[in-house]
Structure 1
């Protein structure tokens, strides 16, 4: 009998957790917004004389559909932030997978800070790179 009691408790707990996760997903009202056109800029090469360039397609995950218009209004600021972040990166960071993730996180943090300063809300939940090309 104790096994059945533990099994029933575990099953009930699983059902409750699964139900709350499904409800949380249903409440999420995210929107996606692409930075158009692609971000194309130079980055610092191995020597000061040599520059590379990077072309990235950036998609923004917006916290709520209701904030989509706000994000679109501030698109020039968001694009300028992306160009500034990419333009200041060293070649090693641009070319490595861990460097790309560092750049993505830096970009997310900078965009959230700018939007919080301008609107009082972070607006941008995440940054996604859907195309990432570079040339040295």
Structure 2
């Protein structure tokens, strides 16, 4: 019986080595399969630093916010020695909500300055798209000038919701 135990012991050691080798091969196969899938789908492997520079260079999207001047800006403009009227409904656009909050706080001063800009415009220029764009640019400079004097952030654009000259 001693002979039977000697032959059984080497057989068990061989089977144990075989089982350990199979487990290691299966674990490696699963790991390589996961890594290959991530690479194929364009994902990065854990621990790779390639995604950090891409995230740093791509800016996050920030949506614009708007505020409306509730009442229209109404004033007279000069045209060939006659007085004409201009009525403009204006909205302000900014990516920074603090800029719109500041514009709401300083709205009386902003309205006054915008009426002055509109009143100093030429009637014939206001009838062309280029003239209206120039007026919007001038109004933007005026609003930003007021906000900068008050130490507030600036707005991005002045938009016309309704524009009437007669």
Q: Please indicate the TM-score interval, normalised by the length of the shorter structure.
A: 0.7 to 0.9
**Corresponding residue for 1:46?**
80
**Corresponding residue for 2:27?**
none
C-alpha distance in structure 2 between counterparts of 1:110 and 1:76, whole Å? 13
C-alpha distance in structure 2 between counterparts of 1:93 and 1:24, whole Å? 39
Q: In the alignment, is the contact (CA less than 8 A) between 1:29 and 1:65 conserved in 2?
A: no
Higher strand fraction: Structure 1 or Structure 2?
1
C-alpha distance in structure 1 between counterparts of 2:99 and 2:153, whole Å? 9
C-alpha distance in structure 2 between counterparts of 1:83 and 1:34, whole Å? 15
1:1-136 map, 5 Å:
20=58, 24-25=60-61, 28-47=62-81, 50-122=82-154, 124-135=155-166
User: Structure 2: any 5+ residue segments left out of the alignment?
Assistant: 1-53
Per-residue CA deviations over 1:85-126 (Å, capped at 9, x if unaligned) read 10001111111111000111011011111111112432x111
Cα shift at 1:63 = 3.3
Rg larger for:
2
Aligned length: 111
User: Structure 1: any 5+ residue segments left out of the alignment?
Assistant: 1-15
**RMSD between superposed Cα atoms in Å:** 1.8
**Corresponding residue for 1:11?**
none
- Higher RCO, 1 or 2 (CA under 8 Å, sep at least 6)? 1
Tell me the TM-score normalized by structure 2: 0.61
Tell me the TM-score normalized by structure 1: 0.74
